[in-house]
Structure formats: C-alpha cells, structure tokens
Amino acid sequence: MTISFENRVAIVTGAGGGLGRAYALELARRGAKVVVNDLGAARDGTGHSDAAAAVVAEIEAAGGTAMANGASVIELDQVEAMVAAAVEAWGRVDILINNAGILRDKSFAKMDMADFRAVVDVHLIGSANCTKAVWETMRAQNYGRILMTASSTGLYGNFGQANYGAAKLAVAGLAKTLSIEGAKHGIRVNTIAPTATTRMTQDIFPPEMLARFSPENVAPAALYLVSEQAPSNVIIGAGAGVVQAAYVTLTPGYALPEGHRTVEEVAANWDRIVSRESEIVPQSGTEQAMLILKTSLGQ
C-alpha cells in the first residue's frame, strides 16, 4: 500500500538543510505542498541565509510544490504569519514537523545561562509557538499531524548538553499532553529522536559512517508519524534505516505498610521499588495515580 501525501499541506521547520530538508523533499515527492521554513542560521543559531529557498528550488525542480519561509520559530508573530501564508495559498495545514534546532554545547559547569535559555527557546518555545499557530486550524479541520523532534540526549542524557537535553525531553512532554488534547479533534502528536549525519553531528560521526547515517534514512519513520495512518503519543528512535520505540515506563512499586513509612524502609525495599516486573507504559498521567492505588491496595 502506497502512503500518499497528495492534497496535504505540510510545514517543516528548520528544513533548509539536514533532516528537515530530507523530510521536505520526501513529503513533496509524495504529493504534499510544503512550507520549507528556515531562517538559515549557523549551528549555534546566529546569522541568516537563504537555505529555505534552495530547498524549494530542489523541490520545484523535481516537479513538487513548495514555498520558502524565513520565520524564526522563536518569534510567534513570524510563525503566525507563516501559517497564515500557507492557509492563504493552500487552504489548510495538515502536518507540522517541529524540526528547527540549534546547539550551544558546554559542560553545565561552564555553561552560560544565556546559552541555556537560547537552546530552550528554539527547541521548546519554538515548537510550542509553531504548534500553537497551527492548532486552531487543525482543530477546525478535525485533522492534524504534529511531530516533535527530541533527541537521545533528551531521553537518556549526554555530557555537555544539559541545555539541549532539557529542551529535548520537554518537547516529548509537550507531545504527550497535546496527543491527549488533540485526540478528539483528529490531531495526532508524536515524537522522533533521530540519529543522522548533519552539520549538527558532523564532529561525532567517523567519515565511514556518513552514508549509513544519512538524513534520508530517517525520513521514512518521520513521514510515517505524520501520515494518515500515524499512531499518536509514541516516541520513535530512527537512524541508519533502523526504527525503534522508546517508552516512559512505570513500575508497580512497593507499598510501605502503615507504621513503616520511613526513609529506612525505602532503603530496605529498594530492589522491590525499582523492580521492572509488571511495569506498565502509562498513556496519561492519571494512570500513575491508578497504579499507586492498585499497589497500595495490594492488588
């Protein structure tokens, strides 16, 4: 079965290069009309270029339909104007891929709080801005597909990326609540943690790995997550053609008996508390309270 994006309108942020460019090209090749957003910044978020226009030219040369947009995702008014331009030209917005990102790596000891804030601004506030700007349109259409871009650093940590890791797990959290709020309006929200050789990761991949980890090898998973048959509320890892699922799980835990609710009892029962036997994957926050109740009742 072919998965088509015919008659779909997609916005991909940070699509002037790297992963966003690969997503935009493949969406357009499969029939979507694509807003290629990028302010054309350097890796640290400074400066401007016409990277988005170059990707639009590539799409058009291949027979596709696209428009360039130079909004910075941290500026809500610019993002709202981008969405308005898409709706005016093409009547709707079906897909938003929040992909724009920057890096300001340093160990936390040496990190300036301005660099912490700049990274949180682009990844978290930028993703929230773009999502807010399409949300009403998607609700009114009763259809929307939104993809957040997390990272292995957000999910699992990485030395020198405290700002980036905080922002990246934050967008996964944003996706979880929005998938709940969007469900009755046909809006599905997912998260991808990609691994690819781009300028963002050029320092860490050995040259022989460049082809294996090309951005094109992440695009199939990303596009599935914004397709009509997309799931909702999943966190997917993707790289080198491998597609994985990451879960936020919860153990049943151990109920400290009345009269034994002390620090020492927590220490004494640590193995039972962290045991993964019968752990669950909650689909909403209330499931934690329900599991607590179950464990406290000894069920």
Residue with tokens 């790596």: 105
| Closest CB 97 distance from ligand NAI, rounded Å | 9
Q: 237 vs 253, which CB is nearer to ligand NAI?
A: 237
**Residue in 72, 131, 191, 214 binding ligand NAI, rule: CB under 6 A:** 72
Is residue 126 close enough to count as binding ligand NAI by CB under 6 A? Answer: yes
- Nearest-CB residue for ligand NAI: 18
**Residue in 9, 12, 19, 82 binding ligand NAI, rule: CB under 6 A:** 19
Helix extents (H) in 148-216: 152-156, 162-182
Is residue 165 close enough to count as binding ligand NAI by CB under 6 A? Answer: no
**Residue in 35, 55, 93, 102 binding ligand NAI, rule: CB under 6 A:** 102
Q: Crossing angle of helices 162-182/113-120, nearest 10°?
A: 30
| Closest CB 154 distance from ligand NAI, rounded Å | 8
Is residue 45 close enough to count as binding ligand NAI by CB under 6 A? Answer: yes
* Residues 191, 174: Cα–Cα separation, whole Å: 9
- Per residue in 198-234, is it b (16+ CB within 10 Å) or e — as a string? bebeeeeeeeeeeeebbbebbbebbbbbbbeebebbb
Side-chain half-sphere CA neighbours of 111 within 13 A: 19
Residues near 214 by beta carbon (within 8 Å), at least 6 away in sequence: 22, 196, 197
Closest CA to 134 of 148, 117, 150, 154: 148
**Residue in 25, 41, 97, 235 binding ligand NAI, rule: CB under 6 A:** 41
Partners of 280 in beta bridges = 250
Is residue 236 close enough to count as binding ligand NAI by CB under 6 A? Answer: no
| Closest CB 206 distance from ligand NAI, rounded Å | 14
Is residue 200 close enough to count as binding ligand NAI by CB under 6 A? Answer: yes
Is residue 199 close enough to count as binding ligand NAI by CB under 6 A? Answer: yes
Is residue 167 close enough to count as binding ligand NAI by CB under 6 A? Answer: no
Distances (CA, A) of 278 to 23, 74, 299: 38, 42, 12
What does the CA dihedral 208, 154, 173, 102 come to, rounded to 10 degrees? -70
Is residue 39 close enough to count as binding ligand NAI by CB under 6 A? Answer: yes
Is residue 237 close enough to count as binding ligand NAI by CB under 6 A? Answer: no
Please name the amino acid found at residue 43: R
Site for ligand NAI in 135-164 (CB under 6 A): 149, 151
Binding site for ligand NAI (CB under 6 A): 13-14, 16-20, 37-41, 43, 45, 51, 72-74, 99-102, 122, 126, 149, 151, 194-196, 198-201
